[in-house]
Amino acid sequence: MLAINGGKPTIKNEFKPYLTIGEEEIEAVVRVMRTGNLSKFIGAWCDEFYGGPMVQKFENEWANFFGVKHAISVNSWTSGLTAAVGAIGIEPGDEVIVSPWTMAASATAILHWNAIPVFADISREDFCLDIHATERSITEHTRAIMIVDIFGQSADMDAFKSLARRYNLKLITDTAQAPGALYKNQLTGTLSDIGGFSLNYHKHIHTGEGGMIVTNDPNLAERARLIRNHAEAVVGDKHETNLVNMVGYNFRMGEIEAAIGIEQLKKLPALLESRQRIGNSLGAKLSEIPGLLVPEAMPGRNSAFYVLPLILELEKLRVGRKEIYAALIAEGVSGISQGYTNLHLLPMFQKKIAYGSKGFPWVPGIVNRDIDYSLGICPVAEELHASSFMGFEVCKFNLSEFEVDLIAEAFRKVFNFYAIG
C-alpha cells in the first residue's frame, strides 16, 4: 500500500546533505584572516585594480583548469552575466535570444543594459535552447544568443557556433549548472565568446556566493574587468577609448571567497565524479519504470548532474503529476520538483514593466517591433513545466548506493500503483 494511502513509507530517514566545505577551506580562510587583507580591490587605475593575491591566484588556477586564457572572478554569477552582456558592447534595444528555462538572472542581465530578452523554445531532448526555435527568433535586431547549459549538460555548441557565424552573432554561455561536464571532450562553458560559472552555495563547488567569467578574447576579458570594478572611474587614467557600457559596478570577489574557491576547485573532479555516479545510477534504475522517461545524455556530451531530469509519460498513468509528486513525497523521497520555470510568463515580461512605470525599455525609439511574451511562444517549455516534467536535485544530497536503491524502489512503488493496465 502506498504511504499516502496509509502504508509504510519506503524511505524513513532524511538524506545527508551534499557538503563540500572541509578543513582545507577553514584553514584557507584563517590564513586570509590573519593577513588582515579581506579585499585588495581599489576602484581606480593602480596596482590593486585587479584585486588581491588570493583573487588573482584563484583566477589563474581557474583559467588553467578550464583551459582558457582569461578567468575573471565576480561576487555572484548574476554579476558575471551582467558583466558578460555588457562586455560584448550590447546597445539599448538590441535583442538577445535566451531560454525560458533558466534562473531569472540570465534574462535580467540582458535587460540590465536596456537590451531585450527574446525567449526561444527549448529542446525536449536536452532542455537547452532548441536550435530551430532559436534561428526562427533571429531578427535584424538580434545581437547575441545566450546559451544555458541546463541541469548539467551542454547545449549543442557546434550547431550554435555555426548559427552564430551565419548571422554574425555573439555567443554567451551560462554554465552555472555544468562545471566540468564535457562537450566532445572539451569542457562545457569554454566554447563561446564569453561565459562562465556559478559559485553559490548549492552548486557543485561554491564560495558561498560568487562566480567566474571565462573567455579567450582579451578585449572581452578586460571590458568585463572594468565593468566589475567601477569602469567609469578608471577608463580615463587607463586611457580606454571605447566607453560603451563602461558603467562600472562593485562586482568584486573578496579574498576570503577566493581562498575558499582555490580549495574548492581542487575538489571539483572528485565531486563531479560523485554527482555523476549518483545521477547515472539513479537514472539507469528509474529508466526501467513504465510511465517514466529518463532522457539520456546526447551523443558527445555527458552531464554534471546538477539535476536528473525526468518526464512523465502521462498517457501510461491513471493520474497526473500532482498526484505522483504527493505520493513520492509520502514515500520519503525529497529533492524532487514539479516543473521548472517559464521566464517569459513572469509579471515583468507579461506587463513589460522593468525600469520605472512607463514600460522602459520596451518603448518606441528603443524597441521598434512588438516583442511577444505570450503564453504559447515556447510550447515545449510550457507543456513540460505545466504537466510532465519532474527533476531530482542530485546536487542536494550525498547519497549512498543503498539510498539510490531506496529512491528507485519508492518510484517503482508509486508508478506501479498508478500505471494503466
What are the structural domain ranges in the chain? 3-19+268-340+381-418, 23-264
- The CATH number, out of the four listed (3.90.850.10, 3.40.640.10, 3.30.465.10, 3.30.110.30), of the domain defined by the range 23-264: 3.40.640.10
% of residues, the chain, pLDDT over 90: 99
C-alpha cell at 172: 554567451
C-alpha cell at 73: 572572478
pLDDT of residue 421: 77
Average pLDDT over residues 236-256: 96
Q: Which amino acid is at 91?
A: E
Average pLDDT over residues 125-146: 98
* pLDDT greater than 90 at residue 348: yes
| 3-19+268-340+381-418 against 23-264: fold identical | no
Q: Which amino acid is at 326?
A: A
| pLDDT, tens digit, 9 for 90 and up, residues 58-90 | 999 999 999 999 999 999 999 999 999 999 999
User: pTM for the complete prediction?
Assistant: 0.97
- Cα(385)–Cα(279) distance, integer angstroms: 21
pLDDT of residue 248: 84
Q: May I ask the CATH class of domain 3-19+268-340+381-418? A: alpha beta
| pLDDT, tens digit, 9 for 90 and up, residues 354-379 | 999 999 999 999 998 999 999 999 99
Q: Is residue 264 within 8 Å of 207, Cβ to Cβ? A: yes
Q: Which amino acid is at 119?
A: F
- Cα(355)–Cα(105) distance, integer angstroms: 16
- Residue 74, CB-side half-sphere exposure with 13 Å CA sphere: 31
pLDDT of residue 44: 97
Residue 113 backbone dihedrals phi, psi, to 5 degrees = -95, 15
Q: Is residue 79 within 8 Å of 211, Cβ to Cβ? A: yes
Identify any residues that bridge with 390 across adjacent strands, giving them in sequence order: 310, 338
| pLDDT, tens digit, 9 for 90 and up, residues 257-295 | 999 999 999 999 999 999 999 999 999 999 999 999 999
Average model confidence (pLDDT) for the chain?
97
210: left (phi over 0), alpha (psi -120 to 50) or beta: left
